[in-house]
Each structure stands twice: as structure tokens, then as C-alpha cells.
Structure 1
Amino acid sequence: MAETTTLYGNFDYIIAGAGSAGCLLANRLSADPACRVLLLEAGGDDKWRWLHIPVGYLYCIGNPDTDWCFTTHPDAGLNGRSIAYPRGRVLGGSSAINGMIYMRGQREDYDGWKAAGNAGWGWDDVLPLFRKFESHYAGDSAIHGGTGELRVEQQRLRWAILDAFREAAEEAGIPKIDDFNGGNNEGSSYFQVTQKKGVRFSAASAFLRPIKERSNLTVITNAMIDRVNFNGRTAQGLQFRHNDHFFHANATREVILSAGAIGSVQILQRSGIGAGDLMQSLGIPLIHHLPGVGRNLQDHLQLRMIYKISKARTLNTMMQSPLAKAYMGLQYALLKKGPLTMAPSQLGLFARSSSRQSRANVEYHVQPLSLEKFGEGLHPFPAFTASVCNIRPTSRGTVAIVSPSLESRPDILCNYLSTDEDVQVALDSIRLTRRIAAASALEKYAPQEWRPGPLAKSDDDLIRAASNIGTTIFHPVGTCKMGNDDMAVVDAALKVHGVEGLRVVDASIMPTITSGNTNAPAMLIAEKGAQLILASR
């Protein structure tokens, strides 16, 4: 922390983080020309071409220019492994490097939040807000919005192997459906994506670029946020580092943290809001003892099952051919079609891992490619990946700073597979995937299990296999949970308990993780947060 800082200016609202939530918030709060808004982003701008070509996630994840490149604490549930934990570090945040999948979750997710005492967060409450920010390819309807900022489209290519997998899933009892976003996502369909005519459409594309001329909105990139400044227990502004100098900006109305499930925790803890014993151990003056800060970390653990196949076109084999690569580039340049428009996953399935489940509890991301991990090359043989994840895990992890320094990396402990329920779902998921792969619709492709491998058969074998192949699917949430219990960090209005003038508005406020990809729910939280903030004026 710098000894002296320079006043940057006075604003009505200061937003920390220009990711999926922060970009939407900045749009809504600056709509009033009399309202001065400062948006701070630790990463750079989003001009790099691979941030806009959909398949560019392969070059953005693991790249320190666009990714925080966090790693996790060695995890007993992963056989002691530490894994990469990508988070977007650029305008648009993780929406600039993620899989572009547009997924709301299930009705019961939001109704569960409401039933836990969070008024205004039920499915019927939030559906109009989802519709508000959507520009859906099918236009306005009872389910979707057609005039919002975020473009949602169908994907622009199909793969025969994925069509066959969908048929095989139907043989295994998983029905075909048209749309995952109506409140019940059980079934198989092709994912809808946040793209516009074959180009990634991030939160920055949707909510910031159209308003860049607003004179009352100031956006600063490469601004590392140090802490919230307080007068007593009232937030006064933010301190941040920019171009090797420290500044403080004053907020006359509110400070809003939208730095995500990792970043918002770091800022709160550096500011003296969190568990008192952590503050004491790090020599940080305690503003308010709030033990839930950094607790309740939830994520979707994916088990990436890989099958070698024959007689099928996959991206693996196409990438081996210089001619095919040249054709893909030309196809994208001229038509914005072909494999370069690919989201990481094209086909999705939501299913019940066993008859014990009352609703769909696992999600598949099926891909016409395979690789050991993102950031590495594709395998040199034709293959597909059937990645299956438990969408309502009961395991809970933690996030904690290890030093007040801006340079220090947080300790991220996911505690994957730390409950009997999660272990059982993992076992059931692998066996369900094997049933699908053995269906007659896939016979002509002769699938052979490559990961984890057919020798893993007993429960002990499969638990070991799940621990060996399991990894994040990039959906961390819950570390600043909404509620009124002892571990809650914010109330239903997203105000931080015990202090004034400070809210958290991002995916960290989820009491429980949504049943599917979390980018659209993060934007929903921002839309709801903006509504609450503006109403309080």
C-alpha cells in the first residue's frame, strides 16, 4: 500500500471490475447524464483480435495478458493436484475469454434463493430482467428479449459426431429439446452463444462499446484496485494503482465491487472486511468482522471423458492439415463461418445422473476435439470429449489473501469431491457417459475410451479416475453470499452487512450455484443490482 495517494476525482458511483457484471452496471448507472460513474479494470483493453474470434479462447486462457492465471491450492479431491484457475483480466472480464454459452440455469435455483429469505430473487422476479438485456436471435417472446444489448445467437456450424452423440443420448433416455433457457433445461440441444454474426460478443461489446461517448462515464484500464477507503464504517471511495502511481477516487453515493468470486474477496479482505483472525494475522486494520468473506466457494467440477473415434471429422484431425487450417481461416475471413466460430462446446445435455435425482443435476459439454488441458495443443488423433459436471455440488471451498500486497496471489481451495454426495454424482456421471457412448447411434464411429480409460471399473477405480481427470469448468461463485445467516456477506439488496455505501454485484453473491453456465446469471445479478441501486436514489 502506498504511503501517499493522489486524488483522481469525485464520482457518484465507483465500480471495481469491468467484467460481465461491471460492464452492464456501468451502462445502467451512467444512463442518467447527471450521474458520474467511474469504472476501473485491472486488465487492458479488448482490441486484440483473438478476443473477438470465437476460437480465440485457445489463445486467451492461460495468457497473462488476458487471464489472471490463478492456480488453486493442492486439492485432496484432485489427488493433491493444483490446477489452473482462469479468470478474465481484460475489458469484458471472463466474458471476453469464456465459452460464450448463454445459460440461465433452472427455475428452482432462483426460487431457492428467494425461499432462503432473499426477496425479489425468484424465477418470476428475474425472468423479466434476463429478457431486458437480451437481443435474442428469435426476437421478443414470453421467454426471451429481442431488444436488449447482449446478442444471443445459434451456432454457425454442425458436426456429424455431435449429432450422433445427441441421438445416442436419446437412446439413453435424455430427450431432445429446443431451448435450455425456459426454466427447465433437462434434455439435449445445441448451446446458444453470445456471438454476433460469428464474432464473440462480450459484456464490453454489449454494454460498454455502445456508450463509449458518454461524458459522464470514465473507464480506466490497467487499474489495480488496492482497497476501499472508509470513514468509520462508511465507504468513501477506492484506492487503486495506475501507471505505477496510487490514486484515490471518492464516491459520493456508493462503491460497488464487481470483480468476481476471486477479485471481490481480495478487495474486501485488503480493506479490512472479513474474518477478524485473518485481518489480525496479516496486520490489516479491521473495519468489520464478516467471516463469510471468501467462504462458500462453489464451482462446477468437470470430468473430461475423451473417446478416440474413426470415420468422423473432428477438429483434431483438421488442425493436422495445413490446407485445412488455411481453408478454415479463409472461411472465417470471408463468411464468418466454420470452425473458427466455434464455442469450446457446441452440444449440451442436462440429465439426472441417477434415478435418485428429482431434476437434472449434471451438464455435458460435448466437443468434436480433445486435448489434455486448455493452453495445450489438440491430440493428433480423431476424438471427441464428453465433459460432464455436477451442476449442484455440495462441496464448498475458500478464497483468502495471503498478504496485503497487490502482487500476492490468493489462496484458492476448491475442496472438490469433499462430500459423499459429490463423489456419488461423479461415479454416476462416468457410468452414464459410458452408457451413452455404447449406444447404437455411435457404433459406426467405434468410440474407444481414452480418458479415464476402460480399465477403471470399480467404485475405487472411478473415484481415483475422477480425481485424476477432474478440473474446473471456470464457474467460481458464492464467496460473498447473499443472505442473513452468519456466513452471509450481502443482503438481498446486495449491500455489504455491517457497513454503509458498499455493495457487491457479481457472481460471488450467489448463495448456491446456478444449474448451468454462470455468465448470463452474472449479468442478471448486475441488472438486478442496477435496479436496486437506482431505486435507492
Structure 2
Amino acid sequence: MQDARDAQHRSHDYIVVGAGSAGCVLAARLSEDPGVRVLLVEAGPPDDAAEIHVPAAFAKLFRTKYDWDYTSEPEPGLGGRRCFLPRGKTFGGSSSMNAMIYIRGNRRDYDAWSAAGAKGWSWDEVFPYFLRAEDHHGGASDWHAAGGPLTVSRGRSRHPLMTAYVEAAQEAGHPFTPDFNGPEQDGFGYYDLTQRNGLRCSTADAYLRPALARPNLTVLSGAQCTRLLFSGERAAGVEAEHHGELVELRAEREVVLSAGAYNSPQLLMLSGIGIAAELEALDIAPRADLPVGENLQDHPHLPLIHLTDTESLMTAMTPENLALLEAEGRGPLTSNAGEAGGFVRTLAGLDAPDVQIHALPVMFHEEGLGAPAAHAFHHGAVLLDATARGKVSLRSALPSAKPRIVHNYLSTEEDRAAAVRALRVLLDIADRPALRAHRRSDFLAPRSDSDRDLLDFARRELHTLYHPAGTCAMGPVVDNELRVHGVRGLRVADASVMPTLVRGNTNAPTIMIAEKAADLLRGV
């Protein structure tokens, strides 16, 4: 770790902004070259909270110092309701407070990127970067790799409610799928997790921590970047606030933003890179007129909760289970909550799944902020290819002001129809014998299965699945090598560069983007 004043007076080749899912990867990969000096700047504290490392406890990090704790603007498609938008603010970023589900997405997602102009990002071209990152529990195969930094494991908690859930899905006619990252994504089964010995394996664990001993890597925590510094048309560094002082940190080669789909566009706009008219309205001199912050995408989540007489994870946090986790890496506290689920196509003729299901053996409600009130199980449907597009914009020119975020959930007819179909999939599975044996009554469910009641329910209960992306997209904002248009020495490498969202959880694709970005920076 480094003091800001020391970092200010040192020379760095690269500055990486954000020690999150992408930033930890980039800092580790770039610093593999002993002749390159790398500075990694993180706004949050180190990942020293016990709740970060105990898989089942991740929701306890919401609205703490480890969370950016964003809230959307009133959402027009949800009757003006605001949505809670947590994002990791610590080493590992959101990989330190997510459900650890390892999903790459569907090969069609990446082939669509390439077909739309993102050359170099087809499935065949990105697949090697997934493999380079991976240390898979099953070893090397046609679909997986061994020996990479990121441990990908089977879940060590197989809750009886989740076994029943997968059985119920098969009773509903859905196939069993042993590996969602294998040849076929459709079907139901159990998720692979970014865990090591039953504990979370964030990018801080997998990449950053092994690299900290390198003398050419400097890590500065508790330093929020306020603007980019320029020398002519070249990005020359960043200004950051550290313990109430502003410091200037200089990069000889490049600055890379890995601050995420909300914060990367915010920092660009604060630095004059964005929609010129909107920046001028805030007295920010435009440097590059680009649609930064547009194209915001997310996976909307539609939850159902059923009460049960079967013991859930609600009572798992005991001294005995904690000791079992710490000593042997097993037991209910290894659960990522979202142990099981699947991918389905809700319309005939689709060439890939349009809905993903996550099932949890615990009550997860009030956007994850409510404490479990009874034994229950939860299952939620995610719209994988939602058509709505939102926006991130500045609230003011003050870097301390949180950005304005509107996702426009359920603002299109296509998404409203998809929400109704997705809820019907959930209701069908919940009504199968394997779950009926555990389902005592409903805690959170629609009044009926009519289109109107299903849509009303969706508008009341929809929340984020924590997958924002697209706000610095390849094409409009950055080129296919992730360089910001109109500015030299500046790239973005995180989920914000995705032209469209992938079908599945976004942590593994974000790590892939960072792995590929490291090669682009090194000219490989």
C-alpha cells in the first residue's frame, strides 16, 4: 500500500482507476513486466470485512463503507419507484460483494458484438481469455482450463430446497444442465462459483493479492479520482482526493478507467468527455463530444418468495457453522445463496435463452436490504435481453455528487411482455410436486396469473440483478481496442464497454475484458 504523497512524486507508466473486477486483473497482468510501473487507485478501503469472505453474508455489505450505495432516479416504467443500486467499493469491487456465480454468457452474445462492428470480440476470439483466467474444479477440457488465477468451483452447499428446485424444473419439462459454461446453456442445474476452499475468490484474491509483493506495483486505497489530467490531447494522469487532500498522479503511457458502468462514465464526464451540451450546462468545458453514459443496460430481476417449514439459510449464521467454514471450508455458510437456477426460452423461435432463473434457499427481499423474517425460498427471473436503455449523467460538476442513474426498467412493450412470460415460468416451477412438498404459503407473489396482475407485480417488485453495462460502449465511446475516441493515452476496460449485455451474470465477462485489455495495452 502507498501514501498518496509518495505516489504523487513517483513516476508511473500506467494508472488504473478502480481496483474492482477489471482493475485488479489489469494491475496484476501489467505488473508482470518488471520494467513497467503500475499505479492502481481505489476509492474504497481494503477488503478486510469478514462478510466479504463469508459467501452467505454478501448482502450484509449493502449500504456500508464497502458499497457505493447508489439509488436510481424515479423509474418511469415502475410508477416512479426508485431502485437500490449497490456497487462494490473495495478491493475486488463488486466481485467482493456478489453472489459469485461464474457464467460466461452465450457465444451468440460475442458473435453479435463482432457482427455489429466490435472486431476482435467474437466468441472464438474472447474464449481464450476466459480460459487464461480460469482454474476450473474439473481440470482442463474443451470448455475449461486449469491453472489460471481465478478458482471456479462447484458450490459446497447443496441445500435440500435447491435440490427440490432443480427437480421441480425438470418436472416442468426443463432439461438438467450439468455445466452452464459448456456446450449448452439451456436448462436447469447448479451454478459454478468463484470460490476457493469454500470462501469467496474475488479478483482481489485471485489477481491483486499475489501481485502486491511486486516493487513495480503501487496500490493507493481511499483515493477517489475527481478528474483526468491532460497534456494537450493526451491523458497524463488523474487528480484524486485522499484524506481530504487533492493529489495529482501522473502516467507516462496510459490511464485506464476500470471504475464500472456508473463511475467510469462519471469520471469521463467530469473531465469534459461526454455529451457537449450537457457538460456545458454544468460549466464543464467539453474536450470530446461523445455519448458517454448513454446505452445503460441491466438485467431486471423479478422475484417470488414462498414460505416453507424446511430450515433455510436464515439460521445458518451460527458459531458452529462459522467454525466449520473457517476450519474446513464447508457447511451452509459456503452457500452463495443463488445456488441453483437455469436458462429458458419463453418464445418459440428464439436462437438463445431470453430468461435466466436464480433460486435461493432463503428469503431475499426488499432489494436485499430486508432481514429474513421466516424460513422461505426465493426464485427470480431475469430478462436477459431487455430492450430498455437507460442513462448515467452528472448531477453536478462536483465529483462528490452521486451521478443520476435511470435504467428505464419495463419502459418498452417488449420488456413488459417478457416480464409476464418470465413470471409464468416461475409460477409453473413453483407449482410442481417437488416444490409443493416444501411450499407452505406465498410471501411474495402476484395476486393471479392474469397478464394485468403479473405486470402490476413486476412494476412493484422488480429490482436490479447488479449487472449494469454499456455506458462507454465499443463503437460510440471507445474503439475496438478500448481507446476513448478523440483522446490519446486513455482507455476504458470494464463492463461499461459492452455494446450489449451478455446472457448471464457479468463478473466472468468483465474479467475476460480485463484480460484482453492487458494484451491490448501490451501490444500483444
1:26 deviates by: 0.5
1:495 to 475, 480, 483: 483
CA distance in 1, matches of 2:211, 2:148: 14
Give the SS at the match of 2:166.
helix
Q: Matches of 1:142 and 1:325 in 2, distance apart? A: 41
| Equivalent residue, structure 2, for 1:460 | 452
Correspondence for 1:370 among 355, 363, 366:
363
Contact 1:452 1:469 in 2 (8 A): no
Give the 3-state SS of the residue equivalent to 2:192 in structure 1. Answer: coil
- From the superposition, tell whether residues 200 and 76 of structure 1 become closer, same or farther in structure 2 (CA, over 3 Å): same
Q: Paired residue for 1:24?
A: 25
The 8 Å contact of residues 177 and 184 in structure 2, kept in 1 or not, is answered as: no
Partner of residue 388, structure 2: 395
Is 1:360 aligned with 2:363? Answer: no
Instruction: Give the 3 Å change call, closer, same or farther, for CA 8–223 of structure 1 in structure 2.
Output: farther
Residue aligning to 2:505? 517
In structure 1, C-alpha distance between the alignment counterparts of 2:185 and 2:273, rounded to whole Å:
38
1:474 match: 466
CA–CA distance in 2 between the matches of 1:242 and 1:468?
Answer: 40
Query: Aligned letter for 2:59?
Result: L
Q: Could you report, residue by residue, the CA deviation over 1:424-460 in whole angstroms, capped at 9, with x for unpaired residues?
A: 110001111111111222232245333223x233212
**1:503, distance to aligned residue in structure 2 (A):** 0.4
- What code does the residue aligned with 2:372 have? L
> Which residue of structure 1 lines up, in the alignment, with residue 302 of structure 2?
303
Map residues 198-237 of structure 1 onto 2, 5 A cutoff.
198-237=198-237
Query: What is the aligned partner in structure 2 of residue 243 from structure 1?
Result: 243
Structure 1 residues 208 and 423 mapped into 2: Cα distance closer, same or farther (>3 Å)? same
8 Å CA contact 1:107, 1:184 repeated in 2:
no
Give, in angstroms, the shift of residue 6 of structure 1.
9.9
- Does structure 2 retain, via aligned residues, the 8 Å contact 1:159–1:313? no
CA distance in 2, matches of 1:217, 1:61: 30
The 1:448/1:356 distance shift into structure 2, 3 A limit, reads farther
CA contact (8 A) 2:225 2:240 kept: yes
**1:224-276: per-residue Cα shift (whole Å, max 9, x none)?**
10111112321111111112111112211111100000110111000000001
User: Structure 2 CA distance, aligned partners of 1:331 and 1:115?
Assistant: 49
* Deviation of 1:358 (Å): 3.0
CA deviation profile, 1:88-129 (whole Å, cap 9, x unmatched): 000111111111111100000000001111111011111111
Specify the SS of the correspondent of 1:153. strand
Query: Contact 1:127/1:143 (CA < 8 Å) preserved in 2?
Result: no
Matches within 5 A, 1:215-294: 215-290=215-290, 292-294=291-293
Shift of 1:326: 3.6
Q: 2:428 aligns with which of 412, 432, 435?
A: 435
**3-state SS in 2 of match to 1:303:** strand
* Structure 2 CA distance for aligned equivalents of residues 520 and 218 of structure 1: 25
The share of aligned pairs that are identical, in percent, is 41
> Structure 1: which 5+ runs fail to align?
none
Shift of 1:328: 2.2
What secondary structure sits across from 2:184 in the alignment?
Answer: coil
Q: Secondary structure at the match of 1:282?
A: coil
| Equivalent pair of 1:437/1:447 in contact (CA under 8 Å) | no
Distance in structure 2 (CA, Å) of the matches to 1:232 and 1:183? 49
Question: What SS class does the counterpart of residue 533 from structure 1 fall into?
Answer: helix
Partners of 1:147 and 1:335 in 2: CA distance? 22
> Aligned to 1:388, what secondary structure does the other structure show?
strand
The equivalent of 1:342 in structure 2 is 335
Question: Aligned partners of 1:183, 1:150: CA distance in 2, in Å?
Answer: 21
1:136 partnered with 2:129: no
**Secondary structure, counterpart of 2:357 in structure 1:** strand
Secondary structure of 2:434's aligned partner: helix
Residues 337, 361 of structure 2: 8 Å contact kept: no
How far the C-alpha of 1:376 sits from its partner, in A, is 2.3
Q: Which amino acid letter does the alignment assign opposite residue 311 of structure 2? A: R
| 1:91 equivalenced with 2:91 (yes/no) | yes
C-alpha offsets along residues 200-243 of structure 1, whole Å, 9 cap, x if unaligned?
11101111111111111110000110111112321111111112
Count of residues in correspondence between the two structures: 518
Amino acid at match of 1:506: D
State the TM-score, normalizing by the size of structure 1. Answer: 0.94
1:504 aligned to 480, 492, 495, which one? 492
What is the rounded CA distance, in whole Å, between the counterparts of 1:214 and 1:330 in structure 2? 33
The residue number in structure 1 matching 2:164 is 164
Of 373, 384, 388, which residue of structure 2 is paired with 1:379? 373
In the other structure, the counterpart of 2:3 is none
Whole-Å Cα distance in 1 between the matches of residues 345 and 61 of structure 2?
33
Alpha-carbon separation, structure 1, partners of 2:373 and 2:200: 25
The residue that corresponds to 1:328 in the other structure is 321
Decide which moves more: 153-162 or 35-44: 153-162
When residues 211 and 520 of structure 1 are mapped into structure 2, their CA distance, relative to the original with a 3 A threshold, is: same
> Normalising by structure 2, what TM-score?
0.96
Residue 472 of structure 1 aligns with an amino acid whose one-letter code is: T
1:124-153 per-position Cα deviation (integer Å, ceiling 9, x unaligned): 111111000111111122211101101111
Is residue 521 of structure 2 the alignment partner of residue 528 of structure 1? no
- Counterpart residue number, 1:43: 44
Which residue pairs with 1:62 in the alignment? Answer: 63
Q: Any idea what the Cα deviations from partners look like across 1:493-526, whole Å, max 9, x if unmatched? A: 1010111111000000000001000001000000
1:183 Cα deviation after fit: 5.5
Deviations 1:365-397 (A, max 9, x none): 1001113232321022x3211111101111100
| C-alpha deviation, 1:7, in angstroms | 4.3
Tell me, what secondary structure is at the counterpart of 1:313? coil
Separation (CA, whole Å) in 2 of partners of 1:424 and 1:379: 32
* Higher mean C-alpha deviation, range 8-17 or range 296-305: 8-17
Is the Cα contact below 8 Å between 1:371 and 1:379 reproduced in 2? no
SS of corresponding position for 2:523: helix
- Equivalent residue number for residue 313 of structure 1: 311
Say if 1:459 and 1:13 are closer, same or farther in 2 by CA, change over 3 A: same
